């Protein structure tokens, strides 16, 4: 593959604070690349350097053998598009107005858009599933819809390279897969080079050809997912103990968090975790590492939480893939919950198919069981039922469920019960 981007020993600073130090690697044309690493490792700063936002104080970034910072902004924009992490738009533009802005690099001064430009915008909206939103105000769409609109704008530029900073961070599980599958298809069919920051290691493992693992502003290692995502590398960079196994369908690495070695011990008590779609994998691993007896449900067979529960030999209520929670699996979930001492509700999105999981948690409160809710994202961003899930969810809080910010707070709270 021809090299598209070449990073030659770059250093970047914010004032006197050095953030990136001595980075050197190449990005091949037509590759799908993920930038991973813990918070503060320099992932977003690296993306800013590649997108001409933060000029290196040392070293060079070459785009097709040209110094990126000696090219005109318009010349770069014809080759490279950027999808930032924050996509708030405070002006009342329509969605189609936002998307057509991606044609700016292709227009001369004072030149208006033509049919070719509008066709490119329509195609980008169709690809990202936003065409039906074309006439809606950008201020009136959800966070996930807005993210897809911004990606559509980037695709309208018709770039060779697209840079994305955690593109799925505000999307529900279905749209995470939808957007990443779209990017993967564009990568394979249109030879679009993709460079994306990932927070979720499992998503990075499933979609990327190459991973750049960063630690403290430097590149720790670069390579294929299987060579980068080893338990040793993750322990060294993240300080976390994990299990790494092959995904049963894709054969790519699948990471299950077990917690830090210093935390692993034996506890008493039975805990039922209501989760699904990957939202519960972390807490299941942490609790298993603590020695708690666990159950889980309702999990669709084949999803990340189901795989995690099966690997950790956790008893669970399960459902056929992609089907809504049935009465039978709902009853099994209630049975497991009734046998537990504490119920934990993971930070999952809700659709019509899994509303019964909220009903099951309500029964736990009726049985005077402690209910702990992990609330990483506001329920409004995770409710795809037209408000029905939000009503049930808020009812849990009103009836005594305890809201906690993350898994660490859950572990700390459990000490009050066991």
Residues ≥6 apart with Cβ < 8 Å to 320:
300, 301
* pLDDT tens per residue, range 308-327: 888 778 899 999 988 899 99
- Look at residues 74, 73, 101 and name the one whose alpha carbon lies nearest to residue 89: 101
> Is there a common fold for 3-229 and 256-414?
yes
Q: Quote the CA–CA distance of 63 and 353 in Å, as a whole number.
A: 47
β-sheet bridge partners, residue 383 = 350
Tell me the pairing of strands 241-246 and 3-14: unpaired
> Going by CATH, does the domain composed of 256-414 fall within 3.40.50.150?
no
Domain ranges of the chain: 3-229, 256-414
DSSP 119-186: HHHHHHHHHTT-GGGTTSBGGGS-HHHHHHHHHHHHHHT--SEEEEESTTTTS-HHHHHHHHHHHHHH
Nearest Cα neighbor of 54 from 217, 221, 192 is: 217
Q: Which helix H or strand E contains 411, and what residues bound it?
A: helix 407-414
Residues 103-158: pLDDT tens digits? 888 887 777 888 898 999 999 999 888 999 999 998 888 877 888 888 899 999 99
pTM score of the predicted model? 0.62
Residue 261, pLDDT above cutoff 60 = no
Q: How far apart are CA 103 and CA 98, in angstroms?
A: 10
Contacts of 300 (CB under 8 A, 6+ apart): 276, 277, 306, 318, 319, 320, 321, 322, 323
CATH code linked to domain 3-229:
3.40.50.300
In this prediction, residue 258 has a pLDDT band, given cuts at 50, 70 and 90, of: low
Under 8 Å between Cβ of 305 and 287 = no
Reported confidence tier of residue 249, pLDDT bands at 50, 70, 90: confident
């Amino acid at each position: 593959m021809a090299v598209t981007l070449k990073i030659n020993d770059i250093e970047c600073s914010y004032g006197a604070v050095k953030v990136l130090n001595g980075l050197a690697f190449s990005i091949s044309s037509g590759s799908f690349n993920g930038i991973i690493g813990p918070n503060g490792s320099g992932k977003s700063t690296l993306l800013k350097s590649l997108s001409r936002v933060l000029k290196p104080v040392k070293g060079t970034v070459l785009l097709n053998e040209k110094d990126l910072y000696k090219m005109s902004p318009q010349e770069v924009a014809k080759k490279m598009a950027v999808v930032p992490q924050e996509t708030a738009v405070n002006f009342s533009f329509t969605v189609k107005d936002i998307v057509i802005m991606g044609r700016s690099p292709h227009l001369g001064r004072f030149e208006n858009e033509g049919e070719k430009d509008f066709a490119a915008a329509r195609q980008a909206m169709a690809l990202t599933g936003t065409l039906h939103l074309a006439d809606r105000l950008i201020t009136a769409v959800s966070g996930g819809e807005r993210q897809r609109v911004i990606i559509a704008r980037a695709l309208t530029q018709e770039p060779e390279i697209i840079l994305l900073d955690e593109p799925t961070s505000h999307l529900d599980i279905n749209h995470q897969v939808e957007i990443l599958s779209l990017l993967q298809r564009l990568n394979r069919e249109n030879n679009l080079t993709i460079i994306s920051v990932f927070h979720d290691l499992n998503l990075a493992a499933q979609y990327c050809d190459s991973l750049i693992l960063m630690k403290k502003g430097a590149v720790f290692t670069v390579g294929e997912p299987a060579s980068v995502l080893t338990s040793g590398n993750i322990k060294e960079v993240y300080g976390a103990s994990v299990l790494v196994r092959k995904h049963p369908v894709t054969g790519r690495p699948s990471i299950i968090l077990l917690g830090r070695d210093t935390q692993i011990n034996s506890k008493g008590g039975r805990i039922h975790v209501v989760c699904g779609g990957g939202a519960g994998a972390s807490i299941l691993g942490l609790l298993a590492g603590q020695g708690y007896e666990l159950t889980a449900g309702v999990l669709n067979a084949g999803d990340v939480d189901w795989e995690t529960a099966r690997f950790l030999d956790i008893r669970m209520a399960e459902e056929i893939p992609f089907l809504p929670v049935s009465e039978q699996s709902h009853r099994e979930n209630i049975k497991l919950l009734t046998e537990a001492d504490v119920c934990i509700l993971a930070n999952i999105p809700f659709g019509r198919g899994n509303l019964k999981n909220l009903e099951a948690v309500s029964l736990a409160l009726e049985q005077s069981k402690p209910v702990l809710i992990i609330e990483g994202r506001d329920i409004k961003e995770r409710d795809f039922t037209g408000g029905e899930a939000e009503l049930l969810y808020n009812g849990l809080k009103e009836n005594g469920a305890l809201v906690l910010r993350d898994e660490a707070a859950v572990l700390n709270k459990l000490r009050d019960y066991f």
